[in-house]
Structure 1
Amino acid sequence: MGSLYGKMILRVCLFFPMPTWSRVSDLISEHGRSLSQWIHLGGVKAFLDGSLGSSSALFHEPYEGDPDNYGLQMTDLDSLLNRTLESDKSGLQVAIHAIGDKANDILLDMVDKIVDLNGAKDRRFRIEHAQHLAPGAANRFGKHGTIASVQPDHLLDDADHAWSKIGVERSERSSYTFRSLLDGGAQLAFGSDWPISDINPLQAIRSAVFRKPPGWEVPWIPAERLTLDESLKAHTMSAAYACFLDHAVGSLSEGKYADFVVVPSTSWDEFSSDLPGHVLATYVSGRQAYP
């Protein structure tokens, strides 16, 4: 392991399948959460539903043209609740995949139960994707500090076919509700979902700011656009917070690792109107790593 650490210049926060929660808990008890400055043990992850593209995301209403299909529930809810309670009780952070509006409502209800049974604490429960939300659901994320771990680049693909999957009205009111989540008090953290989407964070920031899929002349659901400041924070400080790593990364602050990039821009206003597509230099722990 020592030789591997010496070659790494990428920080990794690992989440393990939820059924292994007891082994992960033992590992953290034995070695701590940080195996080095590069490798951190985050917690456990589970899946509640599928995806929109495969018509397996779990919705309250059926898919368009398929009245018997509401999507798939990928795991037994009693089992998921029990494992989540045990994981949470042991101090592990929990992340669960939910894309459809019903799947997200189920998880928001589950968070209420977990807080009731295990008590209030800084747990930073993560809902991965939070892609389609029922009316009022965005406001529920702030109640217990639930993290909406979202991937802006997915909207570039979904904008072209969401209407055919769930209809125009549902897709327009429920899809990628970044502004509503922030306004509702959610912790909004950006990511890429690589290799499913482009790993380039500048592209994700651009997607959240402009929400214009390829070939579109107007934004998709413009009311849900974010400002540049909000998007940068979601991909830096909030992403670090979502991994319990905000003490070490996410901002240029005293006591944190000096991880940062240099982008071509002469002013903040210029950067906002024409986001750069490339990075001039990358620094990791204060040392130049690129070019």
Structure 2
Amino acid sequence: MRIIILALCLFIISSCNKTQNINPQQEYDLWIQRALVLLPNGTTEAMDVLIKDGEIVELVPNPDLKITDSKVEDAKVIDANGNFLMPGFIDAHAHFISLGKNKANLDFLSTTSWEEVVTMVKEKAAELPKGEWIVGRGWHQEKWPNLPNEMIEGFPVHEELSKISPDHPVMLTHASGHGLIANAKAMELAQVNANSKSPDGGVVLFDKKGQPTGIFQENAMSLISRAYAENQKNKTEDDLVKEWLNYLRLAEEECLSQGITTVHDASISFNDALKFKDLANKNELNLRLYAMLSDHALQNTPLQTLRDHVESTREDRFFTNTAVKAFVDGALGSRGAWLIEDYSDLPGYKGENVTPFESLEKTAEIAKELDVQVCIHAIGDRGNREVIDVFEKVAGDEIGERRWRIEHAQHLNPTDIDRIADLNIIASMQTVHCTSDAPYAVKRLGEKRVEEGAYVWQTLLNKNVHIANGTDAPIERINPFENLYAAVTRKRLDSDEAFYPNQKMSREKALEIYTQANAFAGFQEDWKGKIEKGYVADIVILDTNLLTCEERDIPNTKVLYTLVDGQIKHTAE
């Protein structure tokens, strides 16, 4: 009998303690009721979440709790109705303004044929005055079930495109961002002809008659983009600023609708950095940006100016600019990834080194002096090996402390996997690239290279490598649920066949990476990425329990609410 009474007393005390978690003197701005909360350890619990001044101040593990204190009753209430609540997604690698630009211009990510691309350009040409550029992005010939009749080295050629747009220069960037196709008018303005040469680190593709096909890869893209930039000079500074701000707002809207509350912006100009900083200072950014300056900006800005700029953003929670981005090679889809051995489908060709080693080392040295994180794009196994060499040469044992990152780390030689682990290099990967590249990865690399070192997340995790995850938008859609689906299934949305399924992640690990690990990759793990007291209220409420739902339901998840700093930034309504 005494045991029963003692147990009853303990139960009453425990119940009282739960209600006493609510400070009667505390004011609250927002009270989220009846949520199924994803906790930092990967489990869920039914809880209420109370928020003040953008911070989580109470987590109450009692969904039926009734709080009558007037200071709580004054708070705005969200009834989560038992839905899944988790930290806002952190996309560890995307191109923010390019995402907005993609929304404003022609978007070919969903196209399934060259004919569809040409039709979209034709319709755009009918809308625009003669001479105005038509710009778009997202086509990928490897993902089309039906290919055009005329192709060279696996790429479409410009003739059909030029025929329907004779008076409009056209520049259509490949989905990878490492190639483009231009029509005759654009090549005319760029003064590209049969006598043109491919620049270092780039390829102008010519046909058998020696005429340009319209395909420009890697550094050769600048021949066309410079002509486009000349056209942009006709716009007033005010027009350009308004255009840029429109891209930013479109990107914000897209991210927030997908539950993304932080983006690691992978390569920005110093001019854009100043614009972002100004918006942050005026509290006019609707989500958080952790930005990487381009290596060009780092090397061509006075050191003291850089130091002042970096330090002024280091503690800013909406715009942090304490990283630098460089490139060592291109992309697999455009055969720009730099390989140790030849491409299986193009013997004699190993891809491109797009930045000289001296420049990469200089970038790393400046970054080390400024205490700035180095993030280098490397996709091919040779590219990854060379980046590891640069990191080891410049930073040595300090790599892990500095959290230097390889962006993509897609195709690795098995011997270099151990080096990444031993040196504590962050592998900043994009899981959706695996399933997106699946139709042609084996064709490019052969089965042995793919199985041993391509998109090998689980191999890296087993060696305790820190992985970050992102989408590389607008190269892929910024949708985090499609990205998670790729991580946990290794399946494309249009197929039930898993691509080397032994490398797939658990759901708990995939969600941890998309929140806590990505916060760590930006030195921000102490204040965001978790639903925990004292952390910022960057929160999403979803209609789907991502831990227990059917696999096929993950990509169809809907965002009910997105909160940034405790403010509602998006609702499903």
Same fold (TM over 0.5): yes
Measure the CA separation in 2 of the matches of 1:272 and 1:6.
Answer: 39
Report if aligned partners of 1:57, 1:100 keep a CA contact under 8 Å in 2: yes
Measure the CA separation in 2 of the matches of 1:245 and 1:40.
Answer: 10
% identical aligned pairs: 30
Q: Secondary structure at the match of 2:389?
A: helix
Aligned residue for 2:355?
Answer: 75
Measure the CA separation in 2 of the matches of 1:172 and 1:90.
Answer: 39
Measure the CA separation in 1 of the matches of 2:546 and 2:447.
Answer: 39
Q: Secondary structure at the match of 2:530?
A: coil
Aligned residue for 2:474?
Answer: 195
C-alpha change, 1:266 and 1:127, in structure 2 (3 Å) is: closer
Runs of 5+ unmatched residues, structure 2: 1-277
| Residue 25, structure 1, aligned to residue 329, structure 2 | no
Report if aligned partners of 1:138, 1:177 keep a CA contact under 8 Å in 2: no
Measure the CA separation in 2 of the matches of 1:181 and 1:270.
Answer: 27
Alpha carbon RMSD of aligned pairs, Å?
Answer: 2.2
Give 1:281's match in structure 2, choosing from 549, 556, 561. 561
Measure the CA separation in 2 of the matches of 1:193 and 1:130.
Answer: 13
Give 1:143's match in structure 2, choosing from 408, 413, 422. 422
Report if aligned partners of 1:141, 1:185 keep a CA contact under 8 Å in 2: no
Structure 1 residue 194: deviation in Å? 0.8
Give 2:447's match in structure 1, choosing from 158, 168, 175. 168
Structure 1 residue 76: deviation in Å? 1.1
Report if aligned partners of 2:313, 2:319 keep a CA contact under 8 Å in 1: no
C-alpha change, 1:114 and 1:266, in structure 2 (3 Å) is: closer
Measure the CA separation in 1 of the matches of 2:526 and 2:550.
Answer: 27
Structure 1 residue 8: deviation in Å? 2.3
Structure 1 residue 91: deviation in Å? 0.4
Measure the CA separation in 2 of the matches of 1:96 and 1:121.
Answer: 15
Aligned residue for 2:462?
Answer: 183
Structure 1 residue 193: deviation in Å? 0.6
Measure the CA separation in 2 of the matches of 1:42 and 1:267.
Answer: 32
Structure 1 residue 32: deviation in Å? 4.1
Give 2:389's match in structure 1, choosing from 109, 113, 126. 109
Give CA-to-partner distance per residue, 1:223-261, whole Å, 9 cap, x none: 110000111111111111111121222112233211011
Which structure carries more strand by proportion?
Answer: 2
Q: Secondary structure at the match of 1:69?
A: coil
Q: Secondary structure at the match of 1:192?
A: coil
| Residue 94, structure 1, aligned to residue 374, structure 2 | yes
Give 1:158's match in structure 2, choosing from 437, 442, 446. 437
Q: Which moved more, 1:169-178 or 1:184-193?
A: 169-178
- Which structure's CA Rg is the greater one? 2
Report if aligned partners of 1:138, 1:186 keep a CA contact under 8 Å in 2: no
Structure 1 residue 4: deviation in Å? 7.2
Higher RCO structure, 1 or 2 (CA under 8 Å, sep 6+): 2
Aligned residue for 1:16?
Answer: 293
Q: Secondary structure at the match of 1:172?
A: helix
Q: How does 1:124-273 map to 2 (within 5 A)?
A: 124-265=403-544, 268-270=547-549
Give CA-to-partner distance per residue, 1:170-208, whole Å, 9 cap, x none: 223221111011112211001111111111112111110
Q: What TM-score do you get using the length of structure 1 for normalisation?
A: 0.91
C-alpha change, 1:119 and 1:281, in structure 2 (3 Å) is: closer
Report if aligned partners of 1:257, 1:286 keep a CA contact under 8 Å in 2: yes
Report if aligned partners of 2:508, 2:547 keep a CA contact under 8 Å in 1: no
Runs of 5+ unmatched residues, structure 1: none
Structure 1 residue 89: deviation in Å? 2.5
Give CA-to-partner distance per residue, 1:130-154, whole Å, 9 cap, x none: 0111113223222232111111111
Measure the CA separation in 2 of the matches of 1:32 and 1:50.
Answer: 30
Q: Secondary structure at the match of 2:337?
A: coil
Measure the CA separation in 2 of the matches of 1:216 and 1:267.
Answer: 20
Q: Secondary structure at the match of 1:240?
A: helix
Q: Which moved more, 1:19-28 or 1:134-143?
A: 19-28
Structure 1 residue 113: deviation in Å? 1.6
Structure 1 residue 100: deviation in Å? 0.3
C-alpha change, 1:4 and 1:66, in structure 2 (3 Å) is: same
Q: Which moved more, 1:256-265 or 1:166-175?
A: 166-175
Give CA-to-partner distance per residue, 1:50-109, whole Å, 9 cap, x none: 000111101111012422211101111123113212211320111000000111111122
Q: Which moved more, 1:188-197 or 1:12-21?
A: 12-21
Measure the CA separation in 2 of the matches of 1:242 and 1:186.
Answer: 12
**Structure 1: which amino acid aligns with 2:502?**
A
Q: Which moved more, 1:124-133 or 1:160-169?
A: 160-169
C-alpha change, 1:212 and 1:65, in structure 2 (3 Å) is: closer
